[in-house]
């Protein structure tokens, strides 16, 4: 199953909920990866938004859980707003901060809530003759900041969403390409005996620095023109 929760709402409309979190990343002394808090929230929001948008949903609100300290709230919100600006989305942010107890490491959770028409969900719509590829490279931790040119940008992500010949888009998370591929195949009643890709199949893709796509084989060259050297084909034996 996708990392998205679908809840029947009314008249063919479903609520869509996706979340992401980070821990030990921030400005505290004991954090494993040191980064400004607006950067931390930007990447956490990026994941949650990508999950919601990739299934065809429209985001309506962001929920922020701030376990850093109360003073970090506005900075964290700035990171979320940056994500919204890049996606050309304007929605409210609500949430809460831990104010009772100090924490030794940073922790942030972000949830995005949206809606989608059931008939327009981009889930389980990949035909048997589709091909598969990864766009962007799996990066995690310091790699995300040091090699950001190898990461799928949000503008490119949105460009892929607009293409009718791209059937499904799945943000790749910490479990890696192979895991997301198996979930995508399962959602479409498909299975493979083997698969190969020039990228590491089991490496974490951190804050969705790459996505898995299924697409019309006849349009492969168009996709390559769009994403350039961020295209990595997946060869399957179905």
Domain that holds residue 171: 131-237
State the average pLDDT over residues 142-154.
93
Residues 140 and 169 both lie in one domain: yes
Looking up tokens 């949000």, which residue turns up? 154
pLDDT for 238 beyond 90: no
CB 71 within 8 Å of CB 54: no
- Enter the pTM of the model: 0.95
The residues, any chain, with a CB within 8 Å of residue 122's CB and separated by 6 or more, are 54, 55, 56, 167, 168, 169
Confidence of residue 142 (pLDDT cuts 50, 70, 90): confident
CATH number of the domain that residue 94 is part of: 3.30.1330.10
Is residue 80 one of the residues assigned to a domain?
A: yes
Q: Which pair of structure tokens corresponds to residue 25?
A: 């990343």
**Which of 58, 33, 48 lies closest to 79 in space, CA to CA?**
48
Residues 97 and 178 both lie in one domain: no
Question: Rounded to the nearest 5°, which phi and psi values hold at 187?
Answer: -60, -25
Domain count within the chain:
2
Residues 135 and 116 both lie in one domain: no
- 54 vs 113: CA distance, rounded Å: 13
State the average pLDDT over residues 31-38.
96
CB 139 within 8 Å of CB 46: no
Q: Which pair of structure tokens corresponds to residue 122?
A: 């981009």
Among residues 100, 120, 140, the one where a domain terminates is 120
Residues 25 and 112 both lie in one domain: yes
Is residue 126 one of the residues assigned to a domain?
A: no
- In this prediction, what percent of the chain has a pLDDT beyond 90? 93
Taking the CA atoms of the chain, what radius of gyration do you get in angstroms? 18
State the average pLDDT over residues 145-163.
95
Residues 112 and 173 both lie in one domain: no
Confidence of residue 202 (pLDDT cuts 50, 70, 90): very high
pLDDT for 192 beyond 90: no
pLDDT for 123 beyond 70: yes
């Amino acid at each position: 199953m996708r990392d998205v929760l679908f809840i029947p709402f009314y008249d063919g409309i479903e609520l869509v909920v996706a979340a992401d979190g980070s821990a030990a990343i921030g400005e505290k002394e004991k954090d494993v990866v040191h980064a400004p808090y607006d950067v931390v929230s930007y990447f956490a929001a990026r994941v949650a938004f990508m999950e919601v948008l990739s299934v065809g949903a429209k985001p309506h609100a962001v929920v922020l859980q701030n376990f850093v300290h109360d003073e970090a709230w506005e900075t964290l919100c700035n990171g979320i707003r940056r994500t919204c600006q890049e996606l050309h989305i304007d929605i409210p942010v609500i949430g809460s901060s831990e104010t009772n107890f100090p924490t030794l490491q940073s922790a942030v959770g972000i949830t995005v809530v949206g809606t989608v028409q059931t008939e327009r969900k981009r889930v389980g719509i990949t035909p048997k003759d589709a091909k598969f590829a990864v766009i962007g490279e799996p990066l995690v931790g310091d790699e995300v900041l040091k090699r950001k040119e190898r990461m799928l940008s949000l503008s490119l992500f949105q460009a892929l969403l607009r293409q009718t010949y791209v059937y499904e888009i799945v943000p790749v998370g910490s479990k890696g390409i192979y895991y997301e591929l198996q979930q995508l195949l399962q959602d479409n009643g498909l299975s493979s005996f083997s698969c190969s890709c020039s990228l590491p199949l089991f490496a974490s893709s951190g804050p969705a620095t790459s996505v898995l796509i299924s697409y019309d084989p006849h349009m492969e060259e168009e996709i390559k023109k769009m994403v350039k050297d961020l295209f990595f084909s997946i060869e399957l034996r179905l």
